[in-house]
Structure 1
Amino acid sequence: MENTNSNVSFDIKNAKLSLNSISVYRNLLKDKVVNSLYLFLNYADGEKVELDHTAELYNNFFFNLSESGTNSLKEYIINKILFDENAFSRIEKHKNIEDAAANDLKKLQFIASLKGSFIKDRLLKIFDKNKFKNVIEEFPQWGEVEKLDLTNIPEHIKLIKESLYNSDNWNECIYDLKKFHQNYGCGIFAFYRAFVWEYVDGKSQFKCISNPDPVELSDFIGYENERKIVIENTVQFLKGFPSNNVLLYGDRGTGKSSTVKAILNKYYKDGLRMIELPKAHIIDFPDIIRQLKDKPQKFIIFIDDLVFGDNEESYTALKSILEGGIESKSRNILIYATSNRRHLVKEYFSDRDSAKSQRGDGEIHYGDSRQEKLSLADRFGINVLFSSPDKKRYLEIVDGIADKRKLKIDRKTLHREAVKWEMWYNGPSARTAVQFIDWIEGKNKIENK
């Protein structure tokens, strides 16, 4: 099935040339989908072309595109343009960068316009139409969606995607793109709001969270004063004013972690992002700062359920970070931590034994070391206490959640069952109230079905 005709369609040559001529967006050539398209075009532009290898390359590209979650090459390339990290998207002020990016957009628009039917028509001109027509026509096609699926996409991303999708000249969108990158940055931080710092095959990285906890500040009942302190500090941070690292501590189930997550959901449109940092990786904080300090977004490093044992390396690392060493400071980064312990450090009865310093295994000035340990919480600028509610406050939370869900249960019955629930299970707390309402709402729906 070899074809030796070197008079290959100009359009395939032009598509290949367009990809080869990309300058600013050259990272896209390393992308799996774009690269597989390039390999196909490059082969189809050769002097000797075999149909079996052509079919392999064509279908490999189609497979990669379909695996990406869209059947539209145009939509795929628009997504790549928006989140590519390059000199233009980083807003680097080098001469001619903007003009080069605009030229790239014209070339990428041509590539994005390629359709399966277009390619197959060209292949029929390369190969013996009478002999291979049926084979080529059975190649799968990719298409162009009539309307973008913008479900669960932030408004600022919707606007720029629609601008490109509906434009006849992508190069004319260069100023909209520039404004987008100035306001929201580029790469993963322009799209995702929540991340986890993790290790994969021994290498640290930001893991994007596609569906973060959707909790909203309006979901909460009670603890308004406690949350107000954290919200005000966050707003100051977002406006570029002086702000503090925050420790939210207190009893379990009082909404400490949920408060931090809800604040992210409230303010991510204003450029707030969150990195969840496991305690075991606190020593990586300098690496995280190096990667985030030049980004336009504001970042909260979130450390959940923080507590230290004896001689933990991460304790020393966090102490250094909170004290603000040269590598631990960045105007676009704050630490929000939660803990059930005010002082973050495990204490033992032996620690309170003043005679310990006189034993052979104790240090002479143990009291100083103990105070040093207990002072770690003081290095957070703001400490906010979330304590378990008393019975009255617990029932107020229960009532508030029931009202939000429009449960038709008389208050006497609701309160009686709520008190039983907290006695049977986890004691009075905001979390217990939610769990109780989940139970009684489900129970009522089954009984009234």
Structure 2
Amino acid sequence: MKTEQLILYRDFEEGDLLTDMVWLAENYADDFYNLSDKAGLLYDCMHRLLDMAGRYGFYGNLWHCYLANLLVNKENSYSCSAEIRGSVEGSVNLAALHDIRIFKEFYDYDLQTVAKALGAEEFSIVLFYEGNPQESKVYNTRIRDRICDLAQRFCLDHTPEEMKQTLTEFYQEYGVGRFGLHKAFRIEKRDGRAEIVPITNIAHVKLSDLVGYEIQKKKLTDNTEAFVNGKKAN
């Protein structure tokens, strides 16, 4: 399968769904496999996509959101470098492009044809999913919306090169993985172990919300502007 040809983007935490969906897309028309079994697997994939939507708060094309979520959470030699520098040099670009080329094939699957062939027209629910207004249990709403937006932006990319550039820009602007995407954490004790857990509900405070600190705010603004303008010291 195509998943076995991936180099950098593999061994995902929720990779079983990817394996099953790719297998169906590659084998749905093969009469060697039982039609009922293939339809059953597709319905199971649909169940997992809907469960994911409930946990992550995703909406729109849930297959595309799932793929985008895999890409933005995978820390590897390319994504971690792109998070810091944006476009990077070296052979790692060839490996990344190789994988993005495969992911674009995943992205461009005609799943409606697959579902129709297997008698599962209800699969269209996960391709045009209207999410609940409730917040994500995994991400804050800003991160959730960024991932859903990235899934839609990939639709505008006609080539793997364009898709890779879109993903690279996301890494540089928003980060990669749990510690890149999230900005606040807490330590919880789970099963006798300390675990760092992202905080999903964050109150975003603006400078205008701080009353009575005009001198301090001006100093902070002036120092920040000096730093952005490249001055050696503030």
TM-score, length-scaled by structure 1: 0.38
For residues 103-114 of structure 1, the aligned pairs below 5 Å read 103-114=98-109
Distance in structure 2 (CA, Å) of the matches to 1:106 and 1:158: 20
**Do 2:43 and 2:120's aligned partners in 1 also have CA atoms closer than 8 Å?**
no
- The residue correspondences of 1:392-407 to structure 2 (distance < 5 A) are none
Where do residues 21-420 of structure 1 align in structure 2 (5 Å cutoff)?
A: 21-28=5-12, 30-38=14-22, 40=24, 48-69=32-53, 70=59, 71-91=61-81, 96-123=91-118, 136-137=119-120, 139-141=122-124, 142-143=126-127, 152=142, 163-182=153-172, 184-224=174-214, 231=220
State the alpha-carbon separation in 1 of the partners of residues 103 and 192 from structure 2.
36
1:100 Cα deviation from its structure 2 partner: 1.8
Between the two proteins, the alignment pairs up a number of residues equal to: 209
In structure 1, what is the Cα distance between the partners aligned to 2:29 and 2:189?
Answer: 42
SS of residue in 2 equivalent to 1:102: helix
Contact 1:91 1:178 in 2 (8 A): no
Q: Distance in 1 between the 2:92 and 2:29 partners? A: 30
CA distance in 1, matches of 2:30, 2:111: 19
Q: Letter of the aligned partner of 1:220 in structure 2?
A: L
1:353 aligns with none
Kindly indicate which of the two structures has a greater share of residues assigned to strand: 1
> C-alpha separation between the residues in 1 aligned to 2:152 and 2:206?
28
**Which SS does the other structure have where 1:215 is aligned?**
coil
Residues 197 and 165 of structure 1: CA distance in aligned 2, closer, same or farther (over 3 Å) = farther
Bigger RCO of structures 1 and 2 (CA < 8 A, at least 6 apart): 2
Distance 1:196 1:42, change over 3 A: farther
Q: Which runs of 5+ in 2 are unaligned?
A: 54-58, 83-87, 130-140
Bigger radius of gyration: 1
Q: Going by fraction, where is helix more abundant, 1 or 2?
A: 2
Normalised by the length of structure 2, the TM-score is: 0.66
CA offsets 1:306-341 (integer angstroms, 9 cap, x no match): xxxxxxxxxxxxxxxxxxxxxxxxxxxxxxxxxxxx
Q: CA 1:36–1:18 in 2, change beyond 3 Å: closer, same or farther?
A: closer
Q: Distance in 2 between matches of 1:184 and 1:152?
A: 11
What is the distance in 2 between the residues matched to 1:242 and 1:199? Answer: 42
Please state how far the C-alpha of 1:197 moved relative to its aligned partner. 2.3
Unaligned runs of 5+ in 1: 1-16, 124-135, 146-150, 244-449
Aligned in 2, Cα 1:140/1:81: closer, same or farther, shift over 3 Å? Answer: same
Return 45-54 or 217-226, whichever deviates more: 45-54
